[in-house]
Amino acid sequence: MPGKEINQPAGNDGKDFIDLMIDDIIESDHTVFKDRDVLSPGYMPPAPSHRELQMKQLLDYFKPCFRNESPANLLVYGKTGTGKTLVTRLIAKKVLKRCQAQEITEPFIVYVNVQFTHTKFKVLVKICSDLGLDIPKMGLSTDHLINLLKNTLKEQGRALIVIIDEIDLMVRSKDKDDLLYLLTRLSENEPAIKISIVGISNDLRFKTFLGIRVLSSLNSKEIVFPPYQSAELETILLNRATLAFKDGMIDDNIIKAIAAIAAREHGDARKAIALLRSVGEVADQEQATFVDGHHILKARDKLEFDTIKNFIGTLPDNYKIILIAIS
């Protein structure tokens, strides 16, 4: 009957079916991984590979921060998985740390991802909150938040750099385009307020979405992150694999094969690392003593299936019905 609880019989030691399965997992404890978190999307390597030019360009951009000055606005371009967000945030973190060590007045650096902070109000709340202001979730107007921001920057005497990831999503709506214009104009209208925008976008047509007044006010420099080549992906994967896998569990030929697949399809380091992790997980599921070629094929099929499944999940119900009808 629906809702009726089904009890598994317990063994002589009082353990039920689930307890026994947990015992098997703990006792076997076999894994090819040493530290799988190294292959997670949130992992930040201390020194990203093959991005020396872009790191130098970003350091040149942040140079005014060491004089408590505001840098120009900046646009960072690159396809998904080219390291633009990772490197930009890493350099910003290093600049802040050095300013503190040298007792230089460091800027406020705020990171906003428009994909998750998708209204003008939420963007402003994120900025004000990261500046240490206690902002209620409701009850304040946009104008009030702007005034709080202005007063804080004047009182602190510090520059503000707002890193806006997925900035192209911001300018596709008039409301958010106005916010971008407002932020760039604040420092022009009041010299005591120093605000800079670092926009990150995977759409090279980004500027075509800007209105004339925003384009003029933004007046930005540009840095481009090109897709990774096969040899570059191989180095990145080898560095991660050394940290992620136990000795002898994966060899260089597997790394080369994954790098070649990723370079041929997209040059996306993020997807290449996801494939490497999935390969290890497939090997674990089979309780293999090492990773081999057929694990790559299974992992690749699994990732492709998950991608399609997630995409279909976002479709309206009428589209899903059509897919069922034609399948």
Q: Final residue of a domain: which of 225, 241, 276? A: 225
Residue 12 lies in a domain: no
Average pLDDT rounded to a whole number, residues 137-160: 89
Residue 79 lies in a domain: yes
Q: Are residues 99 and 142 in the same domain?
A: yes
pLDDT digits (tens, 9 = 90+) for 268-287: 999 999 999 999 999 998 98
Q: Are residues 116 and 191 in the same domain?
A: yes
Separation in Å, CA 125 to CA 133, 149, 168: 9, 10, 20
Burial class (CB in 10 A: 0-12, 13-18, 19+), 250: buried
pLDDT digits (tens, 9 = 90+) for 104-142: 999 999 999 998 887 888 889 999 999 999 887 777 888
Of 97 and 184, the one with more pLDDT: 97
Q: Are residues 181 and 242 in the same domain?
A: no
Q: Final residue of a domain: which of 166, 193, 225? A: 225
Cβ neighbours for 62, distance < 8 A, ≥ 6 positions apart:
71, 91, 92, 95
Q: Are residues 185 and 133 in the same domain?
A: yes
How many Å is the Cα radius of gyration of the chain? 25
Q: Final residue of a domain: which of 204, 225, 246? A: 225
Instruction: Name the residue among 83, 82, 59, 81 with its Cα closest to residue 71.
Output: 59
Q: Rounded distance, CA 7 to CA 17, Å?
A: 9
Tell me the residue range of the domain where 24 lies. 18-32+228-320
pLDDT for 1 equals 45
pLDDT band at 304 (very low <50, low <70, confident <90, very high): low
Task: Tell me the CATH number at 139.
Answer: 3.40.50.300
Residue 22 lies in a domain: yes
Task: Tell me the CATH number at 264.
Answer: 1.10.8.60
Q: Are residues 84 and 217 in the same domain?
A: yes
Looking at the structure of the chain, the number of domains it has is 2
